[in-house]
Amino acid sequence: MAKLNYVFTSESVSEGHPDKVCDRISDAIVDLYLSHDPYARVAVETLATTNQIVLAGEVRGPESITPDMLVQVARAAVKDIGYEQDGFHWEKMDVKCFVHSQSADIAVGVDAAGEKDEGAGDQGIMFGYACNETPALMPAPIYYSHAILKSLAEARHSGAAPQLGPDAKSQVTLQYENGKPVRATAVVVSTQHADGLTQEEVREIVRPHVLNVLPAGWMCDEANFYVNPTGRFVIGGPDGDAGLTGRKIIVDTYGGAAPHGGGAFSGKDPTKVDRSAAYAARYLAKNVVAAGLAERCTIQLSYAIGVSKPLSVYVDTHGTGTVDEDKLSEILQKLVDLSPRGIRTHLGLNRPVYARTAAYGHFGREAEADGGFSWEKTDLVNDLRAAFF
């Protein structure tokens, strides 16, 4: 039986966190290729350390995209984040590019040929989740953790908080009563700042961003509001800690409130089911909750490399559902073709919309007019209701 009274914590990291810098660069490279060829194949990893960026991976796309172009994309991403520091500067850093052509063996297994449909780019399991704790149908701890850092970043970029640096982390602990979040019991924010600021000064810069994000009356007591607990955070970003693509997969998804299949998203084109099927699973789960068929919904999809159809479609409404889960699984598979090609077509994923996903979560965002975050749409609600009522 599910616990009803408990505390739960999730964390987020900002766009300037070393791992997120790498996610952003890798996704900017995905966007570059898709802007030239919607069917390009990309799997690019990034490593960042003190004034160094290393790009590696495999691609299949236009030969007009040169290593120099990838280097310039990396510099532009770092500049946009806001790094102009002695130890990490968009213009002064050294960028090495080791990106090469995709393996022919992978291409044979994945490409459509004759009667064979396009197969999954790899084996794996992917999860999607939604719940009615927030307007975005996301778990509340990760939702508010993201929102705090996004608010701080907007203030930094606008010039309202020039004393803040790009690197930051947040952590929100919420008290649940009768299965619903009711208040914060602890909030932690660590943010890079200009030399000379005291811990108390940083605390007062951060405070209004937390208060404005949390619902009224949810703020924790002063003793459990931690800002830069070590007292100083001047050296940050890749100068303070090396970064890698794909190391913040729980931050990218549901903050630990739901399972994760294990595959990272950033740096991968949408033929990779690590990315596209995770988006599809979220899309389905969100529509189930939005349709009022459950208060919580977890969906798991599984794939084999080179095989087009999912091996399994598992639906769990955690005892909150109002309809039969087996029938729900059947209906969802009728509404959406869950092959790699079907997912990409239904959600319009062959577009350069991925750099924006690299920070503040891939889920719980607003669907955008150009196709960004299309997996957040709730356009299946009427069909789902019609199937059951």
The answer to whether the CB of 187 falls within 8 A of the CB of 225 is yes
- The answer to whether 175 is a known ligand-binding residue is no
Reference 169, options 149, 194, 152, 186; nearest CA is 149
| Catalytic residue check, 233 | yes
Please give the Cα distance from 284 to 199 (Å, whole number): 44
247, 296, 346, 362: the catalytic one is 247
Is 377 annotated as catalytic?
A: no
Of the candidates 58, 201, 325, 330, the residue annotated as catalytic is 58
In the annotation, is 17 catalytic? yes
The annotation status of 388 as a binding-site residue, yes or no, is no
Question: Residues 199, 206: contact at Cβ < 8 Å?
Answer: no
Q: Is 274 among the catalytic positions?
A: yes
241 is in an annotated binding site: yes
Q: Is the dihedral of CA 187, 190, 193, 197 positive or negative?
A: positive
**Residue 351 annotated as binding site:** no
Active site residue 272: yes
How far is 363 from 278, CA to CA, in rounded Å?
Answer: 10
| Contact (Cβ atoms closer than 8 angstroms) between residue 27 and residue 33 | no
Query: Per the residue annotation, which of 23, 31, 45, 376 is the catalytic one?
Result: 45
- Pick the catalytic residue: 248, 275, 286, 362? 248
- Any idea how long the chain is? 389
Angle at CA of residue 250, ends 238 and 125, nearest 5°: 125
The pair of three-digit structure tokens given for residue 74, joined into one six-digit string: 């990396």
Is 180 part of the annotated catalytic residue set? no
Given 233, 265, 363, 373, the catalytic residue:
233
> Does the annotation list 58 as a binding residue?
yes
Q: Let me know if 157 is a catalytic residue.
A: no
- From the CB of residue 294, how many other CB atoms can be counted at a distance below 10 Å? 24
Kind and range of the H or E run holding 267:
none
102 is in an annotated binding site: yes
Q: Which of 76, 242, 304, 367 is catalytic?
A: 242
232 annotated as ligand-binding: yes
Among 274, 295, 316, 376, the one annotated catalytic: 274
Annotated binding residues for Mg(2+), as ranges? 19
Catalytic residues: 17, 19-20, 45, 58, 169, 233, 241-242, 247-248, 268, 272, 274
Annotated binding residues, as ranges? 17, 19, 45, 58, 102, 167-169, 232-233, 241, 247-248, 264, 268, 272
Annotated binding residues for L-methionine, as ranges? 58, 102, 241, 272
Annotated binding residues for K(+), as ranges? 45
Annotated binding residues for ATP, as ranges? 17, 167-169, 232-233, 241, 247-248, 264, 268
